[in-house]
């Protein structure tokens, strides 16, 4: 149960700080791959999409863990 709640909390925090997370992702990509900053709009959309997918995975996994915990009690 705690794992599910932790995943939901992490998804919520990721949603609140999504702009900072995207900025950090782009900074890391620029440092690792030598991409020019500021990023092109397509790069920003791609980073936002990765963040949205990650939030979705965290949310669905967290809810699944909580629901399965209640079902199998």
DSSP for 12-24, written as a single string: HHHHHTHHHHHHH
Q: How far apart are the first and last CA of the chain?
A: 11
Give the confidence band of 70 by pLDDT, cuts at 50, 70, 90.
very high
Beta strands in 16-56 (DSSP E): none
For the entire predicted model, the pTM comes to 0.74
Residue 42 has pLDDT above 90, yes or no: no
**What average pLDDT does this structure show over 34-47?**
78
What percentage of the chain reaches a pLDDT higher than 90? 40
């Amino acid at each position: 149960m705690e794992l599910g709640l932790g995943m939901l909390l992490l998804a919520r925090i990721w949603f609140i700080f999504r702009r900072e997370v995207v900025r950090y992702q782009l900074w890391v990509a620029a440092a690792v791959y030598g991409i020019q900053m500021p990023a092109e709009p397509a790069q920003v959309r791609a980073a936002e999409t990765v963040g949205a997918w990650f939030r979705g995975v965290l949310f669905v996994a967290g809810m699944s863990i909580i629901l399965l915990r209640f079902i199998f009690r």
